[in-house]
Structure 1
């Protein structure tokens, strides 16, 4: 299974969940929407933070979504790699393992865009 397939499957799961608990999913969506505006940090910078947290907490679906956003926002492989280096520094071995996954996701999604 490709990362793109996993991303699409996760989106389908969230759509089904949203149909069952629409208020909860909409509330979570509102939180996400509220941070997408550029302020002291740009949205792209916030996505780097989100990717770092996703790697550190080992949330594979989160890695998929935030990497997809970074690809859309024009992030480079070098920029993402620097974020991942910080993840490894802060999260040790698990950070290293999930950073490898994140870079693979970035490469696959970048090739498709």
Structure 2
């Protein structure tokens, strides 16, 4: 089974029928965020979107925002840097969640010592 089949976009109609007001609001948010330049120019918004899309691992977002970033003038080097910034933050998240692992292990060891 392929988890990223571009033809799956046809199922968006099912979401629109099942939750029309919510889908309308969702579409409106995307339109507001990605319509033209704001305080952050369009190219940079698209590069941010690529960083987020790679960390959330949304193949449809990666496709659409990579194309939009290129259309907004993003270079291959800028796209690569956006991916690497996302990778660094994703790795940072794993390390900081490691703090919780160490804390839990420390607390479990202390509790085990109290029972002994």
TM-score per shorter chain, which class?
0.5 to 0.7
Match of 1:26 among 17, 24, 27: 24
Which of 1 and 2 has higher RCO (CA within 8 Å, sep 6+)? 1
TM-superposition CA deviations, 1:42-82 (whole Å, max 9, x none)? 12211111111111122223222222322332322111001
2:11 is aligned to 13
Q: Which has the larger radius of gyration?
A: 2
Correspondence 1:91 to 2:90 = yes
- Unaligned runs of 5+ residues in structure 1 are 94-113
Superposed, 1:1-113 pairs within 5 Å as 6=5, 8-36=6-34, 37-92=36-91
TM-score between the two structures when normalised by the length of structure 2: 0.63
| Coordinate RMSD, CA, aligned | 2.7
> Is the alpha carbon distance of 1:23 and 1:49 closer, same or farther for their aligned partners in structure 2, counting shifts above 3 Å?
same
Aligned residues: 91
Q: Contact 1:10 / 1:61 at 8 angstroms: preserved in 2?
A: no
> Is the alpha carbon distance of 1:77 and 1:15 closer, same or farther for their aligned partners in structure 2, counting shifts above 3 Å?
farther
